[in-house]
Amino acid sequence: MAYSYTGKTALITGASSGIGEEFADQLAKRGMNLILVARSQDKLKAIAERVTDKSGITCKVLCADLTDPDAARGLADRVKSAGMQVDLLINNAGFGTHGPFAKQSPDQERQEVLLNALAPLEAIHAFLPGMRERGHGAVINVASSAGFQPTPFMSVYGATKAFLLHLSEGLWAEFKDDGIQFTCLCPGPVETNFFDASGSPTLKKAVSNTPMMSSQRCVREALKGFEAGKPVVVPGMSIKLMTQSSRFMPRSWLASASAKVLGPRKRK
């Protein structure tokens, strides 16, 4: 799929740091105008100033808490009021919780489901009609390699990413002949503030044996796969092999193996 970025506009949720910020940098270099969405106005403004100074593109900042379904739903109206349109929607906002399920806050896990799963669904519904009317558009959903198998001690996070993965693949098949591309990015561990945001002091240590990827490489491979029209992009050969091999293993074995990796370490 040949994709021309110049002069088009991408809306990126969770754009204030990590993968979202890196998408902003790399798309700005490609000449794409940006709409940056997150809760932190100061961080978004700083990123907007940097990318406009370097690339000369137009960059709009929209503050929103996407755990509120009305906020995700209302993004299209806010974009229209600003006199802009969204050619590429990047649903990146999300967070993960880690630890025994019985000890997790039900309210926090509800927020996790709202942000990781419902907000992307609402945003797609908000912007898809405009894309269909224009006869072109694209969506990149940022999921995780955790969506390919059970993730004990991160069960809610893994479930939200599995939802996003299956949603993306289904919509890719449904709209691939209508000029609208759906791609799901499923990275393994990436060098971002994800681990600190999880509130778990042990999560980063739990995945320490899995190769950590830079956000620059993650986004670079994501855009390469997107441009090739792929429905799913798993950056990094080792993570790709892990996700593919899991398809041939019993689900009970996968769940038990994941529990050993993500669960509390027993003292010897």
Please identify every residue annotated as catalytic: 157, 161
Structure tokens at 90: 């990047």
Backbone angles phi, psi at 189, to 5 degrees: -60, 130
Give the β-pairing of 33-38 and 137-142.
unpaired
DSSP conformation letters of 140-185: EEE--GGGGS--TTSHHHHHHHHHHHHHHHHHHHHHTTTTEEEEEE
Query: Is the four-CA dihedral 82, 34, 184, 204 of positive or negative sign?
Result: negative
Helix (H, G, I), strand (E, B) or coil at 18: helix
What's the gap between Cα 60 and its chain centre? 20
